Amino acid sequence: MAEPSREYLLQIISSSGLTVLGTTPWPELPTVEQAWKVMAGMETAPAATISQKSPHAFAEVDHQWLTQASNNSLFTDDGSFLISIAGRGSREIGWTSVKWSDSADLASNPQSDGDPEFVAMSLNGKHICGVTTEEYDYWVVSHQFD
């Protein structure tokens, strides 16, 4: 099966309500692969856990992610940050620069077989905050690089 096109993956990101600014390489920052390794690490502990069975799970995921992202300096003053969504082809694209919108709905965005899985990073590369699926829960993970 062919890898999804760059345009297709950018459309998924855009459909979540984020404004896509570009996919310029960010060589001085941790890579998408490094960030995903933190998200899936054996010693990773969630900052928040939301049951997949919760009737409003996606809304709670968005709320918890936004809280963690805001509290951990993910956004620049104008709301910009970097994002990578889970799924085939996304690691090859690398980081996508985006701008937050109050109408953004990241958890309901169609990705990774319907599960909300993405990792976001501050433009300075110091903070990541993402969402991953672990057994019966969604985890919001926050991490600061040294």
In a domain, 79, yes or no: yes
In a domain, 14, yes or no: yes
In a domain, 1, yes or no: no
In a domain, 71, yes or no: yes
pLDDT tens for 111-140 read 656 788 999 999 999 999 999 999 999 999
- Give the mean model confidence (pLDDT) for residues 31-35: 92
Please state the domain count of the chain. Answer: 1
In a domain, 47, yes or no: yes
Binning pLDDT at 50, 70 and 90, where does residue 31 land?
Answer: very high
d(CA 124, CA 82): 10
pLDDT tens for 59-88 read 999 999 999 999 999 999 999 999 998 877
* Containing structural domain, residue 121: 6-22+31-144
d(CA 62, CA 10): 20
In a domain, 64, yes or no: yes
Long-range contacts of 53-60 (CB under 8 A, 24+ apart): 53/136, 57/107, 57/138, 58/105, 58/107, 58/108, 58/116, 59/107
Assessment of whether the complete model's pTM goes beyond 0.85: yes
